[in-house]
Structure 1
């Protein structure tokens, strides 16, 4: 027997959804995600004296090991979108369960979200949050406009792990949680 023929990656057009937005959100909420804060340099329109911007995002995933690629997405209506779209680099900080306050701060606070936040600067001068479980310093490789979001693909130039930061912060079913191993 021979190999099956390759299937084209795009076949026609998708059918109209048979659900509303609320049902779709509820269904998506059943997928537990980690929580990140993504940071970059501030641009025009940022609060005075605030050199950086940061946002909370749960839309983070690995793409490739070789080259090392990750992705995340951001709403097209986000005020900080131009800074992430136009910047050359950003940091993805993976939050620990003890960092719920940072998650909420970077999701809701107006003004300088970094005021009083402990961080160090990466080789590209971007904030790596203290006690984050892990971090990825990414070159802003590519962006894709899809629906009401922009998908960012970052090529990881540097990364690190904080071994003693505890369990990850997780978002599931509209609530924050953490993880515990099912077995040792």
Structure 2
């Protein structure tokens, strides 16, 4: 089915089309008043090596993002074992960290134990992205765990990678 012109573009069809592109799942978290606050994002990408920048895209309807926007942030690329945590971080209610193992950095970033990658980031710039806000984050510290398989979001489901 070809993509329709902008004026008649069906949002449900577009959401389905976008779901065909697999993405990693990232926990975006920080301490707020001593407690972890976080959300799951699957719109994460590297932007620049100099300066070291990554980008995330946050829905304007998010009630959690305003609690994180001015903080040092922990970005954890979730592992294939984190499907339940990803669902909890994406939910609008309940204790998102009830079954999570996490650690806070001295700067207040929250990192998820067992992740494939940890990034500690500071907000850099924000841009209009329609119904989302595109946020550039400056990477201040990175720690990799190459043996950990990442969680993948594809066709609106969490999946694990398999060797080709």
Task: Give the 3 Å change call, closer, same or farther, for CA 81–125 of structure 1 in structure 2.
Answer: closer
Question: Aligned-pair distance for 1:109?
Answer: 5.9
Task: Verify the 8 A CA contact 2:102 2:111 in the aligned structure 1.
Answer: yes
Across the two proteins, how many residue pairs are aligned to each other?
Answer: 160
CA distance in 2, matches of 1:92, 1:111: 21
Structure 1 unaligned residues grouped into runs of 5+: 1-14, 44-49
Question: What's the CA shift string for 1:20-78, capped at 9, x where partnerless?
Answer: 101111111111100111102336xxxxxx62211011000010111110000111111
Q: Which moved more, 1:124-133 or 1:151-160?
A: 124-133
Deviation of 1:143 after TM superposition, in Å, equals 1.1
Q: State TM-score, norm by structure 1.
A: 0.80
SS in 2 for 1:23: helix
Q: Whose Rg is larger? A: 1
Contact 1:141–1:153 (Cα < 8 Å) also in 2 = yes
Aligned-residue RMSD, C-alpha: 1.8
For residue 76 of structure 1, the aligned residue among 39, 46, 60 is 60
> Within 5 Å, which residues of 2 pair with 1:84-163?
84-85=68-69, 87-108=70-91, 110-163=93-146
Task: Give the unaligned 5+ runs of structure 2.
Answer: none
Give the structure with the larger strand fraction: 2
Task: Say if 2:30 is the partner of 1:28.
Answer: no
Q: Provide TM-score, normalisation by structure 2.
A: 0.89
Paired residue secondary structure (1:115)? coil
Q: Residue 49 of structure 2 corresponds to which residue in structure 1? A: 65
Counterpart contact for 1:41–1:83, Cα < 8 Å: no
